[in-house]
Every structure is written in structure tokens, then in C-alpha cells.
Structure 1
Amino acid sequence: MLQEYKKYKEQILNRAKKIVIKVGSAVLTGANGLDPRVINRLADEISLLHDQGRDILLVSSGAVAAGCKVMTSCKVKECLAYKQAVSAIGQSRLMHAYDEAFARYNKITAQILLTKDDLKSRERFLNARNTLLNLLSWKVIPIINENDTVVVQELKFGDNDALAALVLNLVEADLFINLTSADGVYNSNPMKDKNAKLLPYIKDISKLDLEEICQGKTTQGTGGMYSKLLAARRAAQIGVPTLIVSGKVRFALERVFSGEELGTFIFPEEKSISRRKFWLAYNLDSRGEVLVDKGAVEAIVNQGKSLLPAGIVDVRGKFGKGALVKVIDAESGESLGVGLTNYKSSELKQIMGRKSSEIENILGQCAYSEAIHRDNFLLGAAL
């Protein structure tokens, strides 16, 4: 298996023409805030890949850290407004550092600031896609970050790992590289287990117990290995492989593309989902929950069927027609996935447990025989 993995990885790296690289705060910062030496080294390595004819999109954290370096008397607080103010100071300085570093290699960069609302709207999603694709066609390197200065809590991506996974779908990338402060993925938390072993690859990330092996966060970032693996699981669903590798190691990208074994390579799923299902599952917000019985679980999970009202045993939350809802196994409490409901919550409560043939008599009309159609449902959504 090891030889097969190495051959497959080599093929992926050689073929990858559109690459999303995410770099976290823990990589970009040192004791005195943003580290310009890291920025320069990163620009060097990315420029080398760019010179090979590859399109590169960089999802970068570090604005808050850069702002704190200027406001030397401040310490980062959890208050959203406080972080937004510091980010406003740091974002321009972060981009200035990137502009200067990439200019040494005659590379043009562009700043892209996004909120979840930008990608939730299908029209704005397509506008963002077209903008990025135009920049790539001009051989520009987009540098993407969350628009921390204006975003409200409800419209936050959560962290830049989640944002990077959405960018993969936005531009139809071939490869996701996540630069972190760790050497890769271990079979247990190396900070707590001295016998933890680095995993060179993960064949099926959907079977990995993320809660079991991931504990703790880095001091600078908002995420940790859990958020990186969650992003990798989402990437795998649309057929994009992920490489999680240390950004602290000198020339890590150059060494990886030269065939050296660094970090952890995560295989994509053999059967990828549609990009539309990916969009609805991870760009939209869940508005409620629908609990289903054993028969519905069997039909959805093993037979790939739609969810009928007859299989619903409970409806939680208040939502409208077309809302994204979680589908929960009532017996185990486990999430089966997410989907767009054909009926609002008040209507589902009236028709749950009833046959589709009874819907018209109960509601006065039967617009849909399914509560959630299988075309609008993502089984195994990584939430």
C-alpha cells in the first residue's frame, strides 16, 4: 500500500494545476507578531510553483496578529468588535508584506475579503468565482481572508480552514495544501501522548474519529488540527486531495513537490459529490432539525432514496420552505446529513408520519411527495 500511495501522491502533485494553499496564524507569527521572514520564504516557495505554470490561491490568516504588533499595548480579547478593530489595522499591513515579498519575484497579488454571506448567495458566489478566475487568467496570485472588520458573528466562516474548503469548490481546485505549525496529522495528540505517531497518509478520512485524535488549539489561531481535518474531509467529498504539512519547515513546499515525504497526504473520496450539493451543505446555514425513524434511515443511507414525510418522527426549530435542515437518526441521535426541505416546519409537523397520498387532504395541496428530495440532500455532511 505504501508504494501505491507514493505513486498516487506523485501523480496528484504533478497534475495539480490549480492549488489552494492555506497558511495559519501559528505559521506566520512569532514572539513579536507577524514574522516577515516567514512571509518572504512563503512568497519564494509559492513563486516557484507559480513559475511552473500552476495557478495559486493563498488563504491567509494573520491580520489580527499583524494589528496587535502595531498596537503593542493591546492583548487579543475574545470580543468580536475588539478583534475587528485590530484586524482593520493589521489587514493592510499583512497585504503590504505580501505585496513586497511577491514583488521580488515579479508576482502580482490581489486582496480578496469574503464573508459567508458572499458565498451563501448564489449570485454573489458566481461573481466571486468569476473574479477569481479572471485574476488567475491574468497570472495574479489572489490572497484571500475573511472580512473580519465587518462580518457579524452569524456570517463568520468559523476559521480560515473552513473558508479554504469553500474556496476549493468556488474555483474547482485540484489540490489543497494546509500549512500548519504541526508536522502533520498524528494518530493521537502529540502534546499529550509522547508515543503519538505521524500518519504519512489517510486513505479514508470519512472513517476517522476526529474527536478522538484531535484535542487542543494553537495559541495564535482559532482552529487546530480538528478544523484542518474537517476541511480535509469536506475537500475529499468533492474529489480534492489534501496535504497537511508544517509551514515552519524551511522550503516545505519545494521539498514536497520534489518528492520528499513530509506531512500527511489525505486521499479524496473515490466517488465525489456534486459541487452544487457541496455548496448547499456548507455555504448555507442549518435552520432546524428533522428526526427520522429506522425505516427512513435505511432508505436514505443504504438505498439512496428521498426522505418521505412518513419517516419523520419529530421536527425541531422554525424554518421556511427551502431551508437547509439537519436530518437526525432519532434512535442514535447521529446526524445523517443535511438537505433542503420542500415544506416549512409548521407543515412538516402536520404531515410527519403520514403517507404522501395523505398530504393533499391535510395541507389542501400536495406540491411534493418528498419532504427532502435526494438531489437536495448530502449524506455524511462534515459538520
Structure 2
Amino acid sequence: MTQPQELTDTQFEQRQKDINNAKRIVVKIGSAVLTGQNGLDTSVIAHLADQLSALVKTGREFVLVSSGAVAAGRGLLAQVAPGRDIPDRQASSAIGQSRLMRVYDECLGHYGIVTAQVLVTRSDLEERGRYLNVRNTLRTLLNWGAIPIVNENDTVGIHELVYGDNDCLSALLLNVIGADLLINMTSADGVFETNPDTDPNARCLTHISDIAEIDIDTMCSGKTNVGSGGMYSKLLAARRAAQLSVPTLILSGKKRGALTRAFAGEPVGTWIVPESKAISRRKFWLAYNIEPKGMITIDDGAVNALQNRGKSLLPIGITMIEGEFDEGDLIRLIDKDREQIGVGLSNYGRDELERIKGLHSEDIETALGHVPYAEAVHRDNMLLDAAV
């Protein structure tokens, strides 16, 4: 594993250049930042609004991805002690979301900034037509000078409640609006080499030069007790952002002025360098907006062909098929050790793929009676090293 690095003068200059050039920015703020012992901490939102208003005056546009609805609802319902199962959390979110938006509206409205509530589910970004509707709405709001405040619609969806998907949602929105920077505000000062809850000597990193080479599982052995994703989902979101050639800054939402200090040139938080060449926005959408329906295991020869020779996946390289999927569904590609190689759209449904796995392309017609595709997954519909 490549070790994270400390920030050199040259790297800091590039970091600050990227920050200064960022005009459209996604800011994600987690539950652990927004809540205190008695539920929603309105002073945190007031201070965030103060910082955002100063940055808006510099010509920047912001989309705010905000957790906190469930925690806000629980704070109001302490007397009934709502549980932590999915229905209770969804009901808490229904109560807390309007309270959360009211605070944002009042705090940002104090500076003359209009807010807009946008609630989405994964399916809104999975179906192409609805995805475009979300994109058009967000871009129109930004053109009007409003700050969209986005949250997963917890009352009808469970990804955020179970998986901490607002971190991943923030990365998806980079693609939706064409953002230049992702800022993830958390309760920690940044990314630590090891879990600071269990290692008192854990070191906060200022710079990660190659997020794709970081072993996130090893680095993140714990998570905050209020939010649902912890640092793991934040680094996963940063890895996805890097594939779009978008940098990520993970910094404390609890520290006074951390956001404006970052734009002023202070080396706060952890800066995560993006990849120099962005993947196509279409491949990003395929890999991260659509839920994989199945999984196929490929042999060493196929792994080499995909990773080192830029080839499509042929049926001869397939050794095992799992799950139920149809032609055009997204599937995971794994090697014999069950390590994920990538994801891609299958040219065949499960049943047909079972009949042609391990065969040469010229034998497909004998097995099926026709040859719709020579490839099981075409390279144009495939993303290797997908961060899922």
C-alpha cells in the first residue's frame, strides 16, 4: 500500500490553486457535526451559513448535502425514546427534516441567500430521465443564486439510514452538476492514519496523493456514533470524486471558521488529490448510480486482458455466474480470489450467459442459435477499479 504523505510546498501550492479555481462546490455536512446532546445544534448551522455567505460573495456556487434529519427528529421526540429500527428512523426523519430546513432557511436567509430543499432517492439517480430532471433542477437553482440543500429522502429510502449514503450521494452530485470540488465536513479534524478512538497516537494526515492505493478497510476500523457512514464512506466518496478528476477536502465542521480558513490558504483538513485524467461521466453514472444485479467470476487471462490490454470481456474468460440479471443490467466483475475488478453492463441475461460461459466467441451461435454480441461485457460499458 502506498502510504499517505505530508503536504510539501509544491503540493500545497497545487492544493490552493485547485481551491481558488473551484467555482461550483459540493459541501457535505454530517450528522455528527450538526447535532449535540439535545439534538440539532442550530449554532453550527448559523456559523456554517456565515461562512457560506462570505464565499458566495466571491462568485462561488454551492450545493449542500446535509444529514441530520433523523437526529433532529429524535431530539424533538426524546420523551418517546424512538428506536433505531428502520421505521422509527424514517419517522424521525419525517419530523426532523422540516425542522432542519427551517434552520437552514432562517440562517442563510439572514444573508439574503435563498435555500431550496431537494430530496432524492437512489432510484431518482438510477433512472436516466429522472437523473436528468434532478440535474436540470439543481443547475437552474444554481443559476438563480440559490443554495440547494440535498438529502436522501429517508422517509421512503433506506440507503442513507443503513449505509451512510449521503457521503456517496455527495460524490454522485459532482457528476450531476459538474462540480469542481468536494468538501466533506465531519466531526474529526481530517483523515487519520489509524482510528483515533483506539489509537491515542493516531496522526491526522494533511495529504493523500493516491486515494486508489489506500487500503480504506484497514485505515477505517470505526465510525462516529451519530452518523451512519463514518470515515470509510467519506474516503469511498473521495475515491469516486478522484475518478472524475475532482479533489476532496475532508475537514472539521466543529472547528471555528474551518471552511473559510481553507479558502484563505490555511492547510486545514486532509486534501485528497484527484486523478489526472477523468473517466467519462457516462461510465461514472453507470458504475455508481445503478445497483449491480449480479456478479461474474473471471479467470486470470481475462483479468489481464481487461486491466493491461484494454480489452472487452469475452465469454471464454467467465468461470462462474451469480445473481439474477437481464441483458443490459449492471454486474460486478471479480477475480478467482473474489476481489472486485470492476463493473459493467452485461450484453446477456443470466440464462444465456450460463450457456456460453467458457466458450470461444465463434461457438456462441452453436450454443444459442444466434450471435447478438461477441463480448459478454464491452469495454465501453465497463469501469475497472470501481469504488463500490
Q: TM-score, normalised by structure 2?
A: 0.96
1:238 to partner: Cα distance: 0.7
For the residues of structure 2 that align with 1:74 and 1:249, how far apart are their CA atoms? 33
SS in 1 for 2:228: coil
For the residues of structure 2 that align with 1:286 and 1:351, how far apart are their CA atoms? 21
Aligned to 1:28: 34
The residue identity in structure 2 corresponding to 1:374 is R
For the residues of structure 1 that align with 2:137 and 2:25, how far apart are their CA atoms? 16
CA contact (8 A) 1:206 1:233 kept: yes
The residue identity in structure 2 corresponding to 1:177 is I
CA contact (8 A) 1:115 1:157 kept: no
1:74 to partner: Cα distance: 3.5
Deviations along 1:305-335, whole A, 9 cap, x unmatched?
10000101111111110111110112x2211
Aligned to 2:376: 371
Aligned to 1:262: 268
For the residues of structure 2 that align with 1:75 and 1:275, how far apart are their CA atoms? 44
The residue identity in structure 2 corresponding to 1:159 is D
For the residues of structure 2 that align with 1:45 and 1:95, how far apart are their CA atoms? 18
1:217 to partner: Cα distance: 1.5
Instruction: Pick one of 208, 212, 222 that aligns with 1:202.
Output: 208
Aligned to 2:177: 171
For the residues of structure 1 that align with 2:81 and 2:256, how far apart are their CA atoms? 29
Deviations along 1:101-148, whole A, 9 cap, x unmatched?
001100000000000010000000001000000000000000000111
CA contact (8 A) 1:115 1:156 kept: no
For the residues of structure 2 that align with 1:254 and 1:313, how far apart are their CA atoms? 53
SS in 1 for 2:351: helix
The residue identity in structure 1 corresponding to 2:341 is L
The residue identity in structure 1 corresponding to 2:365 is E
For the residues of structure 2 that align with 1:203 and 1:74, how far apart are their CA atoms? 48
SS in 2 for 1:268: coil
For the residues of structure 2 that align with 1:380 and 1:139, how far apart are their CA atoms? 37
The residue identity in structure 1 corresponding to 2:368 is L
For the residues of structure 2 that align with 1:341 and 1:362, how far apart are their CA atoms? 18
CA separation of 1:153 and 1:8: change in aligned 2, threshold 3 A:
closer
Structure 1 residue 104 corresponds to structure 2 residue 119:
no
Structure 1 residue 298 corresponds to structure 2 residue 304:
yes
For the residues of structure 2 that align with 1:321 and 1:158, how far apart are their CA atoms? 30
For the residues of structure 1 that align with 2:387 and 2:300, how far apart are their CA atoms? 22
Aligned to 1:356: 361
1:196 to partner: Cα distance: 1.3
1:76 to partner: Cα distance: 4.7
1:78 to partner: Cα distance: 2.8
CA contact (8 A) 1:67 1:90 kept: yes
For the residues of structure 1 that align with 2:110 and 2:326, how far apart are their CA atoms? 53
The residue identity in structure 2 corresponding to 1:195 is N
* Greater displacement, 192-201 / 241-250: 192-201
Provide the aligned length of Structure 1 versus Structure 2.
Answer: 382
1:159 to partner: Cα distance: 2.1
SS in 2 for 1:148: coil
1:362 to partner: Cα distance: 1.0
1:156 to partner: Cα distance: 7.5
CA contact (8 A) 1:117 1:155 kept: no
Structure 1 residue 113 corresponds to structure 2 residue 158:
no
Unpaired runs of 5+ residues, structure 1, are: none
1:84 to partner: Cα distance: 1.0
For the residues of structure 1 that align with 2:305 and 2:217, how far apart are their CA atoms? 28
SS in 2 for 1:38: helix
CA contact (8 A) 1:39 1:97 kept: yes
1:77 to partner: Cα distance: 2.6
For the residues of structure 2 that align with 1:86 and 1:191, how far apart are their CA atoms? 28
CA contact (8 A) 1:116 1:155 kept: no
CA separation of 1:271 and 1:221: change in aligned 2, threshold 3 A:
same
Structure 1 residue 141 corresponds to structure 2 residue 141:
no
